[in-house]
Amino acid sequence: MKQLLAIAALTVASLSAQAAVELKYRGDYANTPEYSNRAGTVGAEKNLSRSEFLPQYARVNGNGKVGDAEAKVSLDLTGLNSGTGALDANSFTSYLYISKPVMDGMTVHFGKMETFAGGIEAAENEAGNTFLNTLSNGGNARNYLYGAPVGEAFTNTTTPPTGNISYMDLMPNHTARGVGLTYNYGMGQVDVILTNDENNNNSAVPATSQTQRKHNWGLQWSGSFMDGALKPSVGYIQGYADRGGTTAGSDFAVGIQHINAGINYTWNDLGITVEYLANKGTSDQPTGAISVTEEDTLNTAYLAASYKVDAWKPFAKYEMSNFKDQGTTTATSTSDNTSFDRNAWTLGVEWMPKASDAMSYHLAYMSSTDKYKASPTPTTTAAPKAEVNWTQLVAGVRFSADLLK
């Protein structure tokens, strides 16, 4: 921990001489009423009500010039309050990269970069502006079964069956290590990225853990029309994600595809975003006694709107998502059949009494309903309910501060 704080101090100090260094923070008080997500008679059937203060967003962002290049860094401070001791330099550094122009309109990036995975919503989340993310960008499902992956229910076991993919394996990475290229042509830009992160293959055939490094690549077009009021974007990413298991056969690379297509429209004080997100994951297990074939999809469409009236800005968001679980057949498990549809919405208001203070207050109410296609027969665990309803009320404050003033 001391080393990470020293890195933060050194980074800020090195940028402060000729750069901007900004602290952005959002803290919430969240109240979640009791809800039930299990229908079986084995184990607890309800999640108790919960109230807590949460540091939802805390970043130190800096940028500075290195010749004609620009260095950018964002340090994520939210993990400092976790108390788990699991914080590492990779998670502490949200992004750290350098951008260098190579010719008119063309810039090369190198380092841990921001990606366009997850589309417009992901960019808003990285800025601390979202409350309930859509399912395609990590919005929480409510089916926790004895520590199994969210959204999964297993028969005859309390751990994930060999080779099974959960919807969480389909989540896009909003930052990644690699190189990128941006071409700006005035009314829009084209971004290309090539990243390379570790993917583990903890296989029983052979019975050793192998670290793989496979490339992910992506392409996005972003436009700007009507003097910047209309901003469409379309992106595609293909590559691999790490399943993240710890036992033989549970840890393997998942082939992933991410598609985002959306439009952001701003007219005076009105803001509207419409976006479609599609994630697909395919198991990449070796052949042998635990060979697995599975292809799962996660699709989301949402509408978000806001309107500013003096110091007040009411906002709303509605989401429709579908997770299609193909199911697996392995030597040790049966089809998990946890496909479900989600309808979710958010209503809220933000109040900024003085724009010069860069401080605002917010109140938001969120609700989600998950409807499952099928449920396995309860054995050692309780089966998920056919319908899971969840709500949360959030009140909080947000501010930004220039650390150089």
Antiparallel, parallel or unpaired: β 106-114 and 50-66 = unpaired
Q: 67 exposed, middle or buried (CB, 10 Å; 0-12, 13-18, 19+)?
A: exposed
Q: Give me the CATH code for the 2-402 domain, please.
A: 2.40.160.10
User: At 333, which amino acid appears?
Assistant: S
Backbone conformation region of residue 239, classed left if phi is above 0, alpha if psi is from -120 to 50, else beta: left
147-197 pLDDT tens trace: 233 333 333 233 334 445 566 677 788 888 899 999 999 889 999 999 876
- The domain limits of the chain are 2-402
**pLDDT value of residue 145:** 30
Q: Name which residue leads in pLDDT, 245 or 66.
A: 66
- Residues paired with residue 366 on neighbouring β-strands, in sequence order: 346, 392
Q: 296 exposed, middle or buried (CB, 10 Å; 0-12, 13-18, 19+)?
A: buried
Region 313-339 average pLDDT? 71
281-313 pLDDT tens trace: 877 554 444 445 667 888 999 999 999 999 999
**pLDDT value of residue 357:** 80
Q: pTM to 2 decimals?
A: 0.81
E strand or H helix at 212, and its extent? strand 207-223
What does the angle CA 187 – CA 182 – CA 105 come to, to the nearest 5 degrees?
Answer: 60
